[in-house]
């Protein structure tokens, strides 16, 4: 069974800290998403990766296809970054599965 | 902008009712998905569809069925709602080829009483 493992499950940081969230998957994929979910449930796609690295503002996402691993980094974290971050992988058979999510709390 | 629209944000239904959750996307996506999200369990795939009238079971299809009569609409059906189907339901869609970006609906929080 395909699995997507995400760590840590919960993360508390002080404002300004550098944050890393990790995602590992077990079989080959066509793409990986990093998603953000704020209280209330709405999900926003932050990044879609198939290789390399992407940057958007203070957010950086990397993927290592050989190691089947991706990381989401937040630089200079801010309380408004507090949310659940979810890794989602798209398999070659069009199936899409999710990690369990990382609940991030950034304290002022 | 791509839009994935779920018909309701909040629903309250009684045990035994037949419940329809609707999802519509406006970008001609081939793939559509229904997930439920529960605390501690994350998002779990119920069903997905890769074309009109085509469907595949996900991890937790029991108690659910789906319908895809038109490409833009993917319906999730609870044949006889039960309290353990109280959850947040999320719809997603994407194209079927290449490294594609997925788009998500806003979620439907269903409470079965």
Q: What percent of chain A has pLDDT over 90?
A: 69
Asked if the C-beta of A35 comes within 8 angstroms of chain B's C-beta atoms, the answer is: yes
> Which of B44, B90, B102 lies nearest to residue A33, judging by beta carbons?
B102
- Model confidence at B97: pLDDT above 90: no
Query: Maximum Cα–Cα distance for chain B, whole Å?
Result: 43
pLDDT at residue number B43: 87
Task: Give the pLDDT band of residue A2 (cuts 50, 70, 90).
Answer: low
**If DSSP codes are grouped into helix, strand and coil, which group holds residue B84?**
helix
Taking contacts as CB-CB distances below 8 angstroms, the residues of chain B near A97 are 45
Asked if the C-beta of B8 comes within 8 angstroms of chain A's C-beta atoms, the answer is: no
The reply to whether omega before A8 is within 30° of 0 (cis) is yes
> Using the beta-carbon criterion (under 8 Å), do B100 and A45 form an inter-chain contact?
no
Task: Give the pLDDT band of residue B1 (cuts 50, 70, 90).
Answer: low
- Min Cα separation B16/chain A (Å): 26
pLDDT tens-place string over residues B23-61: 999 989 999 999 999 887 888 999 999 999 999 999 899
* pLDDT greater at residue B86 or residue A37: B86
Asked if the C-beta of B94 comes within 8 angstroms of chain A's C-beta atoms, the answer is: yes
* Token pair of A90 as six digits: 């798209």
User: What own/partner pairs with CB < 8 Å and gap ≥ 24 does B94-97 have?
Assistant: B94/A90, B94/A96, B94/B29, B94/B30, B94/B31, B95/B27, B95/B29, B95/B30, B95/B31, B96/A94, B96/B29, B96/B30, B96/B31, B96/B50
For range A11-27, the mean pLDDT = 95
Asked if the C-beta of A45 comes within 8 angstroms of chain B's C-beta atoms, the answer is: yes
> Using the beta-carbon criterion (under 8 Å), do B45 and A96 form an inter-chain contact?
yes
Taking contacts as CB-CB distances below 8 angstroms, the residues of chain B near A50 are 99
> Using the beta-carbon criterion (under 8 Å), do A30 and B98 form an inter-chain contact?
yes
> Using the beta-carbon criterion (under 8 Å), do B99 and A30 form an inter-chain contact?
yes
């Amino acid at each position: 069974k395909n699995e997507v493992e995400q760590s840590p499950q919960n993360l508390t940081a002080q404002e300004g800290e550098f944050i890393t969230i990790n995602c590992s998957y077990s079989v080959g994929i066509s793409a990986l998403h990093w998603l953000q979910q704020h209280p209330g449930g709405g999900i926003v796609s932050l990044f879609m990766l198939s290789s390399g690295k992407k940057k958007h503002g203070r957010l950086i996402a990397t993927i290592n296809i050989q190691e089947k691993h991706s990381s989401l980094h937040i630089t200079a974290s801010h309380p408004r970054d507090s949310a659940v971050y979810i890794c989602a992988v798209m398999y070659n058979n069009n199936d899409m599965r999710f990690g369990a999510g990382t609940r991030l709390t950034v304290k002022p | 902008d791509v839009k994935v629209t779920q018909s309701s944000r909040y629903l309250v239904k009684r045990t035994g009712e037949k419940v329809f959750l609707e999802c519509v996307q406006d970008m001609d996506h081939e793939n559509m998905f229904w997930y439920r999200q529960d605390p501690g369990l994350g998002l779990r795939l119920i069903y997905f569809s890769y074309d009109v009238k085509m469907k595949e079971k996900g991890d937790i299809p029991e108690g659910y069925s789906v319908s895809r009569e038109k490409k833009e609409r993917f319906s999730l059906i609870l044949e006889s709602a039960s309290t353990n189907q109280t959850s947040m339901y999320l719809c997603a869609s994407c194209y079927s080829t290449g490294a594609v970006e997925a788009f998500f609906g806003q979620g439907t929080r269903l409470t079965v009483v």
